[in-house]
Amino acid sequence: MSDTGIGARVKRKEDHRFITGKGQYTDDINLKDQTYAYFVRSPYAHATIKSIKIPKWKPEDGVVGVFTGDHVAEDKIGGLICGWMIHSKDGSPMKAGPHPILAQGKVRYVGDHVAVVVAESKEQAKAAAARINVSYGELPHVVDAAKAAKSAAQIHDVAPNNTVFEWSLGDKTATDAAFSRAHHVTKLDIVNNRLIPNAMEPRAAIGSWDAGNDHYTLYTTSQNPHVARLVISAFHGLAPEHKLRVIAPDVGGGFGSKIFIYAEEVVCVWASKRIGGRPIKWTAERTESFLADAHGRDHVTHAELAMDAQGRILGLKCHTIAGMGAYLSTFASCVPTYLYATLLSGQYAIPAIYAEVDAVYTNTAPVDAYRGAGRPEATYVVERIVETAAREMKIDPAEFRRRNFVKSFPHQTPVIMTYDAGDYDASLEKALEIADYRGFAQRKAAAAKKGKLRGIGFANYIEACGIAPSAAVGSLGAGVGLWESAEVRVNPVGTVEILTGSHSHGQGHETTFAQLVSDRLGVDINTVSIVHGDTDKVQFGMGTYGSRSGAVGMTAIAKALDKVEAKAKKVAAHVMEAAEGDIEFKNGTFSVKGTDKKMAFGEVALAAYVAHKFPTSEIEPGLKESAFHDPTNFTFPAGCHICEVEIDRDTGVTEIVNWTAVDDFGTVINPMIVEGQVHGGITQGVGQALTEGCVYDPDSGQLITGSYMDYCMPRASDVPSFKLDFTETKCPSNPLGMKGCGEAGAIAAPAAVMNAVTDALGVRDLPMPASPHTVWKALHATKMAAE
Amino acid sequence: MSAISMKVNGKAVCGTVEPRTLLVEFLRENLGLTGTHVGCDTSQCGACVVHVNGKAIKSCTALAVACDGAEVTTVEGLAKNGKLHPMQEAFREHHGLQCGFCTPGMLMAAVDLVKRKGKKLDEATIRHELEGNICRCTGYHNIVKAIQAGAENM
Amino acid sequence: MDNFNYHRPSKPADAAKAMKKAKDGKFMSGGMTLLPTMKQGLASPTDIIDLGGLKNSGVTAAAAKVVVKAGTVHADVASDKGVKKAIPALAKLASGIGDPHVRNRGTIGGSIANNDPAADYPAAVVGLGATVQTSARKIPGDKFFTGMFETALKSDEIVSAVEFPVPKRAAYVKFPNPASRYAMVGVMVAELKDGSVRVAVTGAGPKVFRVPEMEKALQAKFSADAIAGIQVKAKGLNSDIHASPEYRAHLVNVLARRAVAAAK
């Protein structure tokens, strides 16, 4: 291994600009003659818009324009779309209600976008927005997913009972049969709490229209600028793709929330033409992020697990109500279906599974993919019910898992997925050793002496990443293919530019992608640059989410590098007057087998551009290759996380005292970066389990957790230092053997924490977040019951 | 509008601001120092932390006019003569940042912490002292390590 | 936030004058509460009278009393050697307000004049039996906090200092709101030099309050056991998504016992 190649802990190339304050985030960019947008938002959860009264502005108001749904309709700008079709059990297509970029006649959640004010300054835009008088007619509303189907609120005309779809997966008959043979059945009702993503950089956009060329540019905080361009072009109908440039510069975290095409960004670029081409800038205030970013999770589930007398799982049944919010966001429909129910087999050989998912509208912000997207929800169901079953059957939870692990690969689950490689015993055993599982009883006793309740919990998660084989997702309803593209430009001096459709917003692609190039071409990592995030520079790409940038994005780069190597060999053969078959390439040097003739990579690059020494009728000059890679299967990262907690009986405060994570991500390109992804993921999962929860007031429909005053972000003191290790089984479906690591922590952590907390308290279940108040209530109830 | 002057990162600067202009707006918009970020509107996230007269404060919760005459240091002023500050070095060395958005505030908070509590910092102290800075990417693990190492090199 | 007229007087009299002239004026000290409130559009004063120009900060700690000038920031109270020696509970309280950056800007005068029900300082003022000095008079701590966000201050009256008698022993224990870090419940327990005991609770109710039953029990026997069975009534306590009145009532007892055990 070279010190900058695959497997090396290379320090990040992108860090210099971030630690010196020179990053360029969207809000850091200012364009000439820029104006500012502020959105008028609905104060009601559900209402008709009776009228919008716009005052007569004076010059000192600085108002440049005010636009409403009427203007959107006038310009025939299409609504926001959901790009994944789901069919109900009865074969009917999902009921997608219209989602205009500015409300047309009706608002459906607090924060819904009603109108936009464009003004000379931020302050003027905000002040003017406050003076726009919207008259609303309040309608009945519902914010609770479990109550949506029976609510008096009728959110979309197309969706009776507020039901988007009633979908199922698996074999009901086989599963019922399995349950009829069961020795023991464990039942569990659980809620996967709704979360608000909270990337630290709020969303922002600058839209501009160039009158001279009838061309639009949008700077935006996006994880996938090409997809944004495609949707704005094809569905909003703003301009054809070659007349629209989308740039996603440095982006301050996404976690899924910046995948989606939102109204505000589209409005900025559309309205710029309305005001004659002056750029329009919008930066969300954090309050707006809370109200109007797509939220995550929001599942209400009943699950049942059937076992034989030895504790072998016979079958799993699961019914889930998934809250979708007031509109279907870009990928909302695939999250509680194909990203969720397909993972309900977990790491276990479960012969029969049947899952039903009812997706419902509520008068809340749209819900879509958030770090893990469906897979944390699946893991939570599986790992909570497996833990509960083990306790009920009085089998050690580690042993219960061992008995049920998938042991041979490939393994076909009853819910679509074919697991291609893994070793679940290996990660469990390693984790048990690092966590000193055998010493737990002693630690629990020691804690009891201090008046603390100590508990331990496992999460043996599996996820499907490397999203995704295009034909497979197409057959399941996806509106797009999920391949990735790459272009390798070798410059005449031998430096290399990689253009990728992946997008880095914290993942460190500028480093890991360069490591791959350094490894393959034997060039200095500092001579490699990564270009992403600009549709005018990079060929089409699908962006970054679903832990796909390594397994899919880097494989595309690897394929293009293969082509570069092949062509360079041809050039080298001509220059060194040897047969192409005799050319060897190693450590950045081309040599002729059996001779001392050799050329450095840079020399061959120069020769390719100079083009003096090979027949250009056979070999084109230059050294630039591109590749599109479509994966043949999902990848299946898996691992074992063990959490140990101590609970203060008096206050209900839970402290995480130990965390062990053993993950199998296949090949790891940069362990330092991978560990960082795991740390961050775990902490987000801990946030879900212990601190975070989105709360809407059922009576008013208002968002109660609308700022950091009430929405509790995990802080440094809420988590410990983590003990991390890896096992490795190579992923067989890509040449690098990579599986992906970006979501693992967030997928594993909630179940690990809640298994530990319920173990400490001796209760079956507890709602997340297990805040001190919630834990105290459980302790108090136990105490009352005892007295 | 009021005319104000300050010394920012060792350089005398002046400008005209409205009374409501926040220090962070003055830094970002008037001076173009966009390293200091705004991540919330309730003074919790700490992305906007700068030093005013040697003390770490949240620049989103200070009026620019109230800082008239002050000495201000932002993340752009940490490196001296092209040499990174030891805390900046430590954040890179220990992978204390991912998306980079909270990083300027984290760095300024960390440097302030070392000034107040010295170079030998235990993990519990660092975690407690980061109460005013939120990071969504790193899980804090490597930020803690970076601050510990950076402190020793300061 | 909406614009306003900005004043930065250097004398208290000028500050009062500016306030009188203003249509809807607000005094601002550190601005730690006022500015976020204005940013969220929950307050739009016509005039801000910045008390920073008064340069009224500093701490004097003597054997009998500690005087903290109104403009003293929390960090300075927390780190003051004299305060740490005379009333460690006060230094500890100041060291737990907000976060390090807030403590470099927020002041004692601003905190008590604002009288947020979840602020920490009111527990110190009442719990230690302090006296509030204003531009016009001296107000006993017990009479200063009149209601939620309301004090005995007249509209143009400015806090100039807070005088804390040095107790025999005292401690402040806080249970922070997990999100905001304000006090969900904070309890100051103090045994004063005259032998009387004070138990002051912040965060739990609409304003700081004392717990006479606990005070009486502790006066008889200053030990955590003495108050183990004394619960404040949940009725009337604050209720939000973070804590029910019952939980707050429970925490008052837990924290009071911990404060008694920690008092020094």
Per the structure, the complete domain to which residue A609 belongs is given by 483-629
Answer yes or no: is A234 within a domain. Answer: yes
Residue A43 has pLDDT above 90, yes or no: yes
Q: Can you tell me the ipTM of this complex?
A: 0.98
A533: left (phi over 0), alpha (psi -120 to 50) or beta: left
Contact flag B107-A19 (C-beta cutoff 8 Å): yes
- pLDDT tier for residue A108 given thresholds of 50, 70 and 90: very high
Task: For A575-590, write each residue's pLDDT tens digit.
Answer: 999 999 999 999 999 9
Q: What is the pLDDT of residue A405?
A: 98
- How many Cβ atoms sit within 10 Å of the Cβ of residue A381? 28
The verdict on A101 and A234 lying in the same domain is yes
Which of B43, B49, B113 shows the shortest C-beta gap to C36? B43
Task: Answer for the pair A361, A322: CB distance below 8 angstroms, yes or no.
Answer: no
Residue A468 has pLDDT above 90, yes or no: no
The verdict on A303 and A376 lying in the same domain is yes
Q: Which residue on chain A is closest to C249 by alpha carbon? A: A651
The verdict on A625 and A637 lying in the same domain is no
Report the percentage of chain A scoring pLDDT > 90: 98
Q: What is the pLDDT of residue A92?
A: 98
CA distance A622 to A620: 7
Answer yes or no: is C54 within a domain. Answer: no
- pLDDT tier for residue C126 given thresholds of 50, 70 and 90: very high
Tally of domains within chain A: 3
Answer yes or no: is A14 within a domain. Answer: no
**Spatial CA neighbour of A377 closest among A278, A459, A483:** A459
User: By CB neighbour count within 10 A (0-12 exposed, 13-18 middle, 19+ buried), where does A773 fall?
Assistant: buried
Answer yes or no: is C152 within a domain. Answer: yes
The verdict on A734 and A616 lying in the same domain is no
Per the structure, the complete domain to which residue C34 belongs is given by 5-49
β-bridge pairing A113-119 and A63-68: antiparallel
**In this complex, is the C-beta atom of B80 within 8 Å of any C-beta atom belonging to chain A?**
no
The verdict on A374 and A278 lying in the same domain is no
| Mean per-residue pLDDT of chain A | 97
Task: For A428-443, write each residue's pLDDT tens digit.
Answer: 999 999 999 999 999 9
Answer yes or no: is C35 within a domain. Answer: yes
- Tell me, what CATH number does A666's domain have? 3.30.365.10
Answer yes or no: is A549 within a domain. Answer: yes
Give me the half-sphere count of Cα atoms (radius 13 Å) on the Cβ side of residue A84.
Answer: 25
User: By CB neighbour count within 10 A (0-12 exposed, 13-18 middle, 19+ buried), where does A162 fall?
Assistant: buried
Give φ, ψ of B134 to 5 degrees.
-110, 135
Q: Tell me which DSSP letter residue B63 carries.
A: B
Contact flag B45-A507 (C-beta cutoff 8 Å): no
A546 vs A59, residue with greater confidence: A59
Contact flag C35-B44 (C-beta cutoff 8 Å): no
Cα separations (Å) of A293 from A106, A148, A333, A365, A372? Answer: 19, 21, 16, 7, 17
CA distance C140 to C132: 6
Answer yes or no: is A15 within a domain. Answer: no
Q: Tell me which DSSP letter residue A211 carries.
A: T
| Mean per-residue pLDDT of chain C | 97
What is the mean pLDDT of the segment spanning C173-193? 97
Answer yes or no: is A225 within a domain. Answer: yes
Contact flag B93-A11 (C-beta cutoff 8 Å): yes
Structure tokens at A658: 């130990």
The verdict on C118 and C206 lying in the same domain is yes
- Tell me, what CATH number does A119's domain have? 3.90.1170.50
**Spatial CA neighbour of A459 closest among A350, A354, A347:** A347
Task: For B30-39, write each residue's pLDDT tens digit.
Answer: 999 999 999 9
Contact flag A20-B79 (C-beta cutoff 8 Å): yes
**In this complex, is the C-beta atom of A11 within 8 Å of any C-beta atom belonging to chain B?**
yes
| Fold of the domain spanning B86-152 | DNA polymerase; domain 1 (1.10.150)
The verdict on A423 and A325 lying in the same domain is yes
Cα separations (Å) of A396 from A166, A405, A457, A657, C137? Answer: 37, 14, 11, 21, 70
- A576, A595, A629 — which closes off a domain? A629
- Tell me, what CATH number does C80's domain have? 3.30.465.10
How many interface pairs between B and C have CB atoms less than 8 angstroms apart? 77
Q: Which residue on chain A is closest to C1 by alpha carbon? A: A123
- pLDDT tier for residue A785 given thresholds of 50, 70 and 90: confident
> Which residues have a Cβ under 8 Å from the Cβ of A34 and sit 6 or more positions away?
A206, A278, A279, A280, A281
The verdict on C31 and C82 lying in the same domain is no
CA distance A78 to A232: 9
Which of B61, B129, B132 shows the shortest C-beta gap to C31? B61
- A613, A629, A645 — which closes off a domain? A629
CA distance A40 to A53: 12
What is the mean pLDDT of the segment spanning A156-162? 98
Answer yes or no: is C219 within a domain. Answer: yes
Helix (H) or strand (E) holding A59: none
Task: For A9-34, write each residue's pLDDT tens digit.
Answer: 999 999 999 999 999 999 999 999 99
- How many Cβ atoms sit within 10 Å of the Cβ of residue C109? 29
The verdict on C158 and C89 lying in the same domain is yes
What is the mean pLDDT of the segment spanning A169-178? 98
Residue A373 has pLDDT above 90, yes or no: yes
Best of C2, C74, C99 to disrupt the B interface (most B CBs within 10 Å) is C99
* Contact list, A371 vs chain B (CB under 8 Å): none
How many interface pairs between A and B have CB atoms less than 8 angstroms apart? 175
The verdict on A560 and A673 lying in the same domain is no
Contact flag C3-B19 (C-beta cutoff 8 Å): yes
**In this complex, is the C-beta atom of C65 within 8 Å of any C-beta atom belonging to chain B?**
no
Answer yes or no: is A8 within a domain. Answer: no
The verdict on A622 and A531 lying in the same domain is yes
User: By CB neighbour count within 10 A (0-12 exposed, 13-18 middle, 19+ buried), where does A258 fall?
Assistant: buried
Which of C31, C50, C102 shows the shortest C-beta gap to B132? C102
Task: Answer for the pair A722, A659: CB distance below 8 angstroms, yes or no.
Answer: yes
What is the mean pLDDT of the segment spanning A132-154? 98
The verdict on C64 and C144 lying in the same domain is yes
- Tell me, what CATH number does C43's domain have? 3.30.43.10
Task: Answer for the pair A250, A25: CB distance below 8 angstroms, yes or no.
Answer: yes
What is the mean pLDDT of the segment spanning B43-69? 97
A737: left (phi over 0), alpha (psi -120 to 50) or beta: left
Q: What is the pLDDT of residue A782?
A: 79
Answer yes or no: is A157 within a domain. Answer: no
Task: Answer for the pair B88, B100: CB distance below 8 angstroms, yes or no.
Answer: no
The verdict on C154 and C45 lying in the same domain is no
User: By CB neighbour count within 10 A (0-12 exposed, 13-18 middle, 19+ buried), where does A76 fall?
Assistant: exposed
The verdict on A77 and A223 lying in the same domain is yes
The verdict on C102 and C218 lying in the same domain is yes
Q: What is the pLDDT of residue A1?
A: 52
What is the mean pLDDT of the segment spanning A460-472? 93
Tally of domains within chain C: 2
**In this complex, is the C-beta atom of A442 within 8 Å of any C-beta atom belonging to chain B?**
no
Interface of A with B in 195-214 (CB under 8 A): 198-202
Chain centre to alpha carbon of residue B58: 8
Task: Answer for the pair A315, A182: CB distance below 8 angstroms, yes or no.
Answer: yes
Q: What is the pLDDT of residue A328?
A: 98
* Contact list, A713 vs chain C (CB under 8 Å): 179
The verdict on C40 and C154 lying in the same domain is no
Contact flag C179-A710 (C-beta cutoff 8 Å): yes
* Contact list, C32 vs chain B (CB under 8 Å): 43, 61
Q: What is the pLDDT of residue A2?
A: 73
What is the mean pLDDT of the segment spanning B87-109? 98
The verdict on C183 and C78 lying in the same domain is yes
The verdict on A625 and A550 lying in the same domain is yes
Report the percentage of chain C scoring pLDDT > 90: 98
Q: What is the pLDDT of residue A547?
A: 87
Domains B2-77 and B86-152 share a fold: no
Task: For A174-214, write each residue's pLDDT tens digit.
Answer: 999 999 999 999 999 999 999 999 999 999 999 999 999 99
* Contact list, A704 vs chain C (CB under 8 Å): 241
The verdict on C33 and C136 lying in the same domain is no
Task: For A523-574, write each residue's pLDDT tens digit.
Answer: 999 999 999 999 999 999 999 998 899 999 999 999 999 999 999 999 999 9
Task: For A691-731, write each residue's pLDDT tens digit.
Answer: 999 999 999 999 999 999 999 999 999 999 999 999 999 99
Which of A16, A200, A675 shows the shortest C-beta gap to B134? A200
Which class is B2-77 in CATH? alpha beta
Domain ranges of chain B: 2-77, 86-152
What is the mean pLDDT of the segment spanning A609-637? 96
Which of B19, B61, B112 shows the shortest C-beta gap to C5? B19
